Structure 1
Amino acid sequence: MKQSQTSRRSFLALAALTPLAAMTTTACGTSGPGSSSGGGASMWYLTGEPNQTIEQKAVDAFNSANPNNKISTTFFQNDAYKTKIKTAIGAGQAPTIIYGWGGGTLKAYAEANQVDDLTSWFDQNPDVKNKFFPSVFGAATVNGKIYAIPNQYIAPIVLFYNKELFAKAGVQPPKTWDDIMSLVKTFNGMGVAPFALGGQSRWTSMMWLEYLLDRIGGAGVFKAIFEGKPNAWMDPAVIETGTKIQELVSADGFIKGFSSITADSNADQALLFTGKAAMMLHGSWTYGSMKKDGQNFVQNGKLGFVNFPTVAGGKGDPKNGVGNPAQYMSISSKASDAEKESAKKFFKDGILTDTVLTAYVNTGSVPIVNGIEDKLSASADKDFLNFVYDMAKNAPNFQQSWDQALSPTAAEALLNNIDQLFLKSITPQQFAQNMNATLGK
């Protein structure tokens, strides 16, 4: 599951060049970016297990069944890929199939006519589109058109809690923001930090803003921000979100010294499973790492999980989710017609097959397709997997993580301002004004 954590943040490309360390695997020969032999297509993908092995096996199975439409694959380390794909697309030498995270980067590609509009193809293949959760298409859609097919699994942000500490305190998990503020007092009174937070990583703090803004203002507030509408960051819901966060900080809602704790080290997770913190808002991928490293905390049934609470008077649907809706694949506009047809055939017959679905479930992930309840229920982790599945499937809106949805420039400004907001070195109004200046960048 740690690979999921890397994937979650991988949209934000902060530009230092990394040695390319690419590994090419080919069943039909790779003749360079954007070209392949035998009427097939080329695809670039990320290294890292278990995703790399699962994807390569899917490609091998497809190539065996479709000798005239083979897919050649090249694997890159995460940071190297982000540098390489940007250069290749700019030079008109992209692979046929472009792996990505949707959101701001896909929007830039689409508006520059570098990837194909797949809307009519999905209309002609409703069985393909209907296979996926409806909510995962948001990050693949630009100006009402679909430019990518979703792939892999969903990773929502979840409110985790320590059942043992809650039983000791005689309290229930929070259903409202008022409940959260009450629990802060309860656990501080017990000498336990209410919430673990790896604040030095910044994107962990962002999760709080994502959910709060949705619960307070509804999904439309960030939609306006994503679309770059004038003064979208100045919406009153943004100010209220920042105000509530600073009230939580002032009430000692987070572990002392949270700004020096990193998420990459899993120190925030350790605070939860060792009983030093009662709750943690984090990605679903942390379930697997806590199961692995948590001293049987998960196996002994001490880990609880719920959706983010409601806010009194808020406009957001309490079923809305935030996080990583999926990973995505687009088709390069520079590819030949034959390559594009091979890519579409792979999209239809090669991704998220029954074998692939089983492989993802066995790694503790929830694939983004309907009708897999039996597979999830057969897992030892069925309670959590079914929770994530139902949460994702039933979400009226699933908001992609902000640092992925926004452009890289706006995303870095966001993380910097979030850090200052949580440290109370800027006011909620200043946060909104600073972010408003990034619209259109």
Structure 2
Amino acid sequence: MATPLAATALASCGGSSGPGQAAEGDATVWFLTGEPKEGIRRQSVESFNESSESGDIAVTAFQNDAYKTKIRTAIGAGQAPTLIWSWGGGSVNDWAEAGQIDDLTSWVGENPDLKDRLFDAAWIPITFDGKIYGVPHETVQPVFLYFNKKLFDQVGAQPPTTWDELMALVPVFNDAGIAPISLAGQSRWTTMMWLEFLVERVGGQEAFLAINESQPDAWSNPDVLQALTMAQDLVKANGFVNGFNSIVADQNADQALLYTDRAAMLLQGSWCYGSIKADGGEFVSNGNLGWATFPVVTGGKGDPSSTVGNPAQYYSISSDATEEQKTIAKEYLLNGVLTEEIAAAFINEGGEVPVLEGTESLIAESPDAEFLSYVYDLASNAAFFGQSWDQAISPTAAEELLNNIAQLFQLSITPQQFADNMNAVQAS
């Protein structure tokens, strides 16, 4: 959302088209770079193209933050790809209200097996006023605390279960010359996750949902102001790695600080496991990676089992696509996007839990079964699974939210100023 628009157009997956270009009549899709999941996404499209009778799909891939800017511009200009990749929520609702994506309610109803094979909760962020504007795919992605077991052993500490324990660990790691927490602050959405959890732990799901739903004065809730204050307390205590505001998540630099023993903890999503395993050498295989739920706040209203993150990822169909392209897209959504082969790849190569029902046996057979079972249980047993704020609210409000979060963590505005700024945005 903040990084320069350095989109990386990559070679098309099928047909005679060149890099990022579709042959005449082909459908198109944009999605995110980054292994191992980029390779799985490509495998899904390539497998579909090999057997498709309706036509091929051409691929272009972008880095995360660049994609968010690029897709908004393309949709507004009537130049969107046939299949629009998203996290659901506010952006999709805006596109639906503007008539920029197709209402898929009737089509999904005509294909009940499609809905039945995917997690029920995954459909919520793509359903507005009882109408369905996309299809869930890929994986369920809760957020939790990763930690470096070796560094915890080095200082003789245990992972924090309460906020007070977390704050007490900050000087322990700093005195040992270890950054307590890694954070890619320049990306801003990584910082937002700290606020999301603090708001839920202090104020419970009502306070969290009031923000998701853009309720008037939601940010003035005393519980929210307390959460904002606690976040700044952590910054003032030097809880985060020095220079965190210059670190970018797209290059996985925050993960590298964890597996190179320079930071003890990292608040991130389940999507990071695969890249930590792939890039961290023997860090995972040696048993140095641990994970735990976000600490509880003593006296808070939140549920310790609640989490935040992405219930799924989504494909919507552009209203500007031709009927031929839409036919290809629908065939892919039915028969190609999350086959058992692709589900197995997400489990075994990506280290993530697909949103496909009945994958318990695949998870149990995976070499990453311990981690995947944790993710599956966390997502399926959560008392509340809050969708990321920057996806749930409108894109305009989300950009202001991320800007204010950056200022809050830079200590350039107070919690009250933050609340006043965001209340004004939601009221506009």
Considering the TM-score relative to the shorter chain, is it more than 0.5? Answer: yes
Q: CA RMSD in A?
A: 3.4
Q: Answer whether contact 1:34 1:96 (CA < 8 A) is retained.
A: no
Look up the SS of the partner of 2:265 in the other structure.
strand
Structure 1 pair 338–220 and aligned structure 2 pair: CA distance change class (3 A): farther
Bigger drift between 145-154 and 96-105 goes to: 96-105
Cα distance change, pair 343–263 in 1 and its aligned pair in 2 (3 A): closer
Over 3 Å counting, the alpha-carbon distance change for 1:288 and 1:144 in structure 2 is same
Q: Could you tell me which residue of structure 2 aligns to residue 361 of structure 1?
A: 347
Q: 1:249 aligns with which of 226, 235, 246?
A: 235
Structure 1 match to 2:298: 312
**Equivalent residue for 2:421, pick from 403, 410, 434:** 434
Which of 231, 237, 242 lines up with 2:223 in the alignment? 237
Is residue 128 of structure 1 aligned with residue 114 of structure 2? Answer: yes
State how far apart, in whole Å, the 2-side matches of 1:309 and 1:301 are. 22
Q: CA deviation at 1:228?
A: 2.6
Equivalent in the alignment of 2:379: 392
Match in the other structure for 1:4: none
Aligned partners of 2:169 and 2:2: how far apart in 1? Answer: 37
Q: Distance in 2 between matches of 1:376 and 1:302?
A: 21
Aligned-pair CA distance for 1:257: 4.3
Does 2:44 correspond to 1:44?
Answer: no
TM-score (norm 2): 0.84
Q: Secondary structure at the match of 1:365?
A: coil
CA distance in 2, matches of 1:313, 1:207: 21
Instruction: Please state how far the C-alpha of 1:240 moved relative to its aligned partner.
Output: 1.3
Q: Output the amino acid matched with 2:407.
A: Q
Contact 1:33 1:94 in 2 (8 A): no
1:252–1:440 distance in 2 versus 1, CA, 3 Å: same
1:327 aligns with 313
CA separation of 1:237/1:124 partners in 2, compared to 1, >3 Å: closer, same or farther? Answer: farther
Q: Which residue of 2 aligns with 1:156?
A: 142
Distance between the aligned counterparts of 1:83 and 1:242, measured in 2? 27
Q: Distance in 2 between matches of 1:17 and 1:200?
A: 14
Q: Deviations over 1:285-314 (max 9, x none)?
A: 333333344352222112110111222233
Alignment of 1:2-401 (within 5 A): 12=1, 21=9, 23-27=11-15, 37=25, 42-46=27-31, 48=33, 50-51=36-37, 53-62=39-48, 65-67=51-53, 69-78=54-63, 85-86=71-72, 89-90=75-76, 92=78, 94-188=80-174, 190-264=176-250, 266-335=252-321, 340=326, 342-366=328-352, 367-401=354-388
**Distance (Å, rounded) in 1 between the aligned partners of 2:259 and 2:74:** 44
The alpha-carbon deviation at position 159 of structure 1 amounts to 0.4
How far apart, CA to CA, are the structure 2 residues paired with 1:84 and 1:427? Answer: 32
When normalised by structure 1's length, the TM-score is 0.82
**Matched residues in 2 for 1:246 and 1:82: separation?**
28
In 1, distance between residues paired with 2:50 and 2:183?
47
Can you give the 5+ residue segments of structure 2 that lack an aligned partner in the other structure? none
Q: Which amino acid aligns with 2:55?
A: K
Q: Which residue identity lines up with residue 357 of structure 1 in the other structure?
A: A
SS in 1 for 2:158: coil
Instruction: Return the offset for 1:335.
Output: 4.8
Q: Give the letter aligned to residue 241 of structure 1.
A: A
For residues 120-146 of structure 1, what are the alpha-carbon distances to aligned partners after superposition, in whole Å with 9 as ceiling and x for unaligned? 444454432232233333332334433
Q: Which runs of 5+ in 1 are unaligned?
A: 1-11
Counterpart of 1:421?
408
SS in 1 for 2:264: strand
Aligned residue pairs total 424
Deviation of 1:212 after TM superposition, in Å, equals 1.1
Query: How far is the alpha carbon of 1:87 from its aligned partner?
Result: 5.3
CA distance in 2, matches of 1:233, 1:187: 33
Go from structure 1 to structure 2 and tell me whether the alpha carbon gap of 1:110 and 1:241 turns closer, same or farther (over 3 Å shift): same
Does the 8 A contact of 1:218 with 1:315 survive in 2? yes
Percent identical among aligned pairs is 51
Output the CA distance in 2 between the equivalents of 1:77 and 1:126: 32
Say which SS state the counterpart of residue 85 (structure 2) adopts: strand
- SS of 1:439's equivalent? helix
Q: Please tell me whether the aligned partners of residues 176 and 309 of structure 1 are also in contact (alpha carbons under 8 angstroms).
A: yes
Cα 1:246–1:331 change in 2 (3 A) is same
Distance in 1 (CA, whole Å) between partners of 2:394 and 2:97 is 13
User: 1: CA distance between counterparts of 2:166 and 2:272?
Assistant: 21
8 A Cα contact 1:33 1:42, kept in partner = no
Cα distance change on mapping 1:368 and 1:251 into 2, 3 Å: same
Amino acid at match of 1:379: S
- In the TM superposition, structure 1's runs of 4+ consecutive aligned residues that sit over 6 Å from their partners are 32-36
Q: Which amino acid aligns with 1:203?
A: W
CA shift in 2, pair 1:402/1:21, >3 Å: same
Deviations 1:72-117 (A, max 9, x none): 3342445776566545544556444322332232121011122223
Contact 2:408–2:415 (Cα < 8 Å) also in 1: yes
The alpha carbon displacement at 1:208 in A equals 0.6
1:225 is paired with a residue whose SS is helix
